[in-house]
Structure 1
Amino acid sequence: MKAGMAHLNDNAQRIAEDMIRDAERLRIAVTKGASGECLIDVGASVVGGIEAGLRLAEAAMGGLGRVAAVIDRSGDKWPFGIQVGSSQPVLACLASQYAGWNLSTEDYFAMGSGPARALARVEPLFSTLAYRDRASSAVLLLETAEPPPPAIVEKVAKTTGLPPDKLTFLYAPTQSLAGTVQIVARVLEVAIHKANDLKFPLDRIVEGIGSAPIPAPHPDFLTAMGRTNDAIIYGGVVQLFVTGPGKAARQLAEKLPSRASRDYGQPFAEIFKRFNGDFYAIDPLLFSPAEIVVTAIETGDTFRAGARDVAMLEKSLG
């Protein structure tokens, strides 16, 4: 894809502007930071909500995703879920939505996601992504209860090559309803990211769609994080449409489900405790949907692997 063709930041900027316009209805708060940056609180000191979370997820995907709350009759205790899809899933999920930019300081921790990453291109992941965004403004999401301090704003401005007043930061903690929704909306992203880890050619993934149940938010961070991860690991379903031979599609389907991980089988909060809070000690292959469907569009073959684990969902989601 040619540089600039997808316009990730321009798309996300339009979504952010719509959120600002609808701030009262979405129950979000919009302020200006010390350097002129736009700060949109989607769930920290405000109520926010499901609709705000859906908009947040769409911004995270650089406007290349379709995100909706849907009814799922297969889960009696969790009748509603998040459905997300994209016709440009690699750009939407990896070049934008993936939370891969470490923006931590001594007293502030946040992982940045969203299309500003495609301007900064500081992560190793971008060595495999040819896409380069060009934009006069940038949008970044932070999974945190605090707006970015001046040092973070300055870092983002310097790295993206934009002045602070051209930056928009959207933030919401995991414990909030909007934060919960936008994290569960990463169900497709984790499948694409794992496919990349498995060395499946990204240019052969041409379409993706996924869903996962909406868990109840929880005021405790660890519990909230566990629930959002478990909604995907034990309740997520993703279908990928790929080009190439059926054999490769079958192999991808067999390796993608979360149960292929050595750490599968416990609520995520318990796994996190077992590794003493070291996120990076957990098997990265655990972070994927429970059930995978891969369709080889050139041969017409479809392969399925994994399954949703209702018992594990009951342990975690309640």
Structure 2
Amino acid sequence: MSGSLNISGRTTESVNALAGALVDRLVAGAAKYRIAVERGSLGELLIDAGAKVPGGIEAGLLLTEICMGGLGSVTLSHAPAAPKWPFWLTVTSADPVVACLASQYAGWSLSHEKFFALGSGPGRAQARAEKLFDELSYRDLADRVTIVLESGSPPPKEVVEKVAARSGVTPDKVAFIYAPTQSLAGGVQVVGRVLEVALHKAHELHFPLDDIIDGVATAPLSPPHPDFVQAMGRTNDAIIYAGRAHLFVKGSAAAAKELAEKLPSMTSRDYGRPFAEIFKAYKGDFYKIDGSLFSPAEALVTAVETGETFRAGEVNLALLDKSFGG
């Protein structure tokens, strides 16, 4: 098993191998994590983390680390500055470009007939099925792969075959972990993308990815909701209105300052309403929403070569309360 990236300072470890060890821990602790594990018709490993089982916050924390290819740490801690919603996720990664963009980003569209889900996780780095990988040198080569799906059902065999073929492995070497956004684990892993959305926004702003050397981000644990739109809204609002990200970058102070100013969600024309309201206003067309909305509320960027830190944006607890029902 090996992973390679011809960029100085980036990981050469296999994200699928690292995540595989976490998947093994999840499976071994199935009762503890309140998940269900089975083999599908093609031998694929299917892990239900919240569709027909309770799952939970602990499962969600581990699921988020799996999404990051084992290159991130996700913890839950108390945040006294937000008394109504005191428990926040903190996400760190010493290699955020690989962890967040090559692994965690939900960028692989997987569908067959009525089934549709966006695939995230380290399997993306081996399949390299998205245009994004034209700009990422990281390529994984492992004997087993893992894909995480925001879905209430397991993938059909046609999707299993597609993932296996694209990854160069047999179906029995593919693990699918699925959980709907309405579930506890599903909600945790979406909020756990707070660092990833900062990286994705930086990429959209054409900031040199090679210059991002470290990152940490935090966002509040969102309460679940049985309605999909409301659940999706709350997880997004946790990041949009209360997420905070701190990136450490090489290069000039001017470039760091510009990145900080452009990163926050308040730069979006759609900022100012709970996400569920925005989604409904666009009649459920996700792609009509201004893409710059998907970013943390507050950004800090430190230019490590000058020691200067720049910040922009702010946490909006009033809108968070409106979204969370507080």
Q: Which category describes the TM-score, using the shorter chain as reference length?
A: over 0.9
Classify the secondary structure of the residue corresponding to 1:218: coil
SS at match of 1:6: coil
Query: Counterpart in 2 of 1:80?
Result: 87
Counterpart selection for 2:259 from 241, 252, 257:
252
The answer to whether the aligner puts 1:11 opposite 2:15 as a matched pair is: no
* Alpha-carbon separation, structure 2, partners of 1:262 and 1:124: 27
Q: Which amino acid in 2 is paired with 1:148?
A: P
The sequence identity of aligned pairs, in percent, is 58
- The aligned runs of 1:97-108 (5 Å cut-off) are 97-108=104-115
Residue 43 (structure 1) aligned with residue 58 (structure 2): no
CA contact (8 A) 2:112 2:156 kept: no
Structure 1: runs of 5+ lacking an equivalent: none
Partner of 2:299: 292
Per the TM alignment, residue 272 of structure 1 is displaced from its structure 2 partner at its CA by 0.5
Q: Which residue of 1 aligns with 2:117?
A: 110
Map of 2:233 onto structure 1: 226
Q: TM-score, normalised by structure 2?
A: 0.96
- Aligned equivalent of 1:121, options 128, 140, 162: 128
In structure 2, the partner of 1:133 is 140
Alpha-carbon distance, 1:2 to partner: 3.8
Give the secondary-structure state (helix, strand or coil) at the position aligned to 2:137: coil
Runs of 4 or more off by more than 6 Å in structure 1? none
Q: For residues 221 and 104 of structure 1, what CA distance do their matches in structure 2 show? A: 19
Q: Any idea what the Cα deviations from partners look like across 1:181-208, whole Å, max 9, x if unmatched?
A: 0000000000000000000000100000
Does 1:94 pair with 2:89? no
Equivalent-residue separation in structure 1 for 2:14 and 2:126 (angstroms): 11
AA at the equivalent of 1:120: A
Question: Secondary structure in 1 aligned to 2:112?
Answer: coil
CA distance in 2 between partners of 1:229 and 1:106 (Å): 28
Q: Report deviation, 1:311.
A: 1.0
Is 1:146 equivalent to 2:153 in the alignment?
Answer: yes
Offset from partner CA, 1:244-287 (integer Å, 9 cap, x none): 11000000000000000111111100110111111111111100
Q: Which residue of 1 aligns with 2:73?
A: 66
- Contact map agreement 2:297 2:315 (CA 8 A) in 1: yes
Corresponding residue of 1:212 = 219
Tell me the SS of whatever aligns to 2:216. Answer: strand
- Count of residues paired in the alignment: 318
- State how far apart, in whole Å, the 1-side matches of 2:21 and 2:249 are: 30
Paired residue secondary structure (1:188): helix
The aligned amino acid for 2:116 is F
**Distance across 2 between alignment mates of 1:105 and 1:312:** 37
User: 1:12, CA displacement in angstroms?
Assistant: 0.8
Q: Residue by residue, what CA displacement relative to the aligned partner does 1:216-269 show, whole Å, maximum 9, x if unpaired? A: 100000000000000000010000000011000000000000000111111100
Q: Distance in 1 between matches of 2:14 and 2:84?
A: 39
Distance 1:74 1:183 in 2: 22
In the TM superposition, what is the alpha-carbon distance from 1:161 to its structure 2 partner?
1.2
Amino acid at match of 1:55: L
1:313 equivalent among 284, 303, 320 = 320
How far apart are the structure 2 equivalents of 1:56 and 1:2? Answer: 28
Is residue 268 of structure 2 the alignment partner of residue 261 of structure 1? yes
Aligned to 1:193: 200
3-state secondary structure, aligned to 1:264:
coil
Corresponding letter in the other structure for 1:83? T
5+ long unaligned stretches in structure 2: none
- Of 287, 290, 298, 1:283 maps to 290
- The superposition leaves residues 61-104 of structure 1 with CA deviations (integer Å, 9 ceiling, x where unpaired) of 00000101111111111000110010000000000000000002
* Alignment check: 8 A CA contact 2:274 2:322 kept: yes
Tell me if 1:169 matches 2:176.
Answer: yes
Q: SS at 2:310's partner residue?
A: strand
Following superposition, the deviation at residue 109 of structure 1 comes to: 1.2
The SS at the match of 2:143 is coil
C-alpha deviations, 1:150-186, integer Å up to 9, x for none? 1110111111111000000001000000001000000
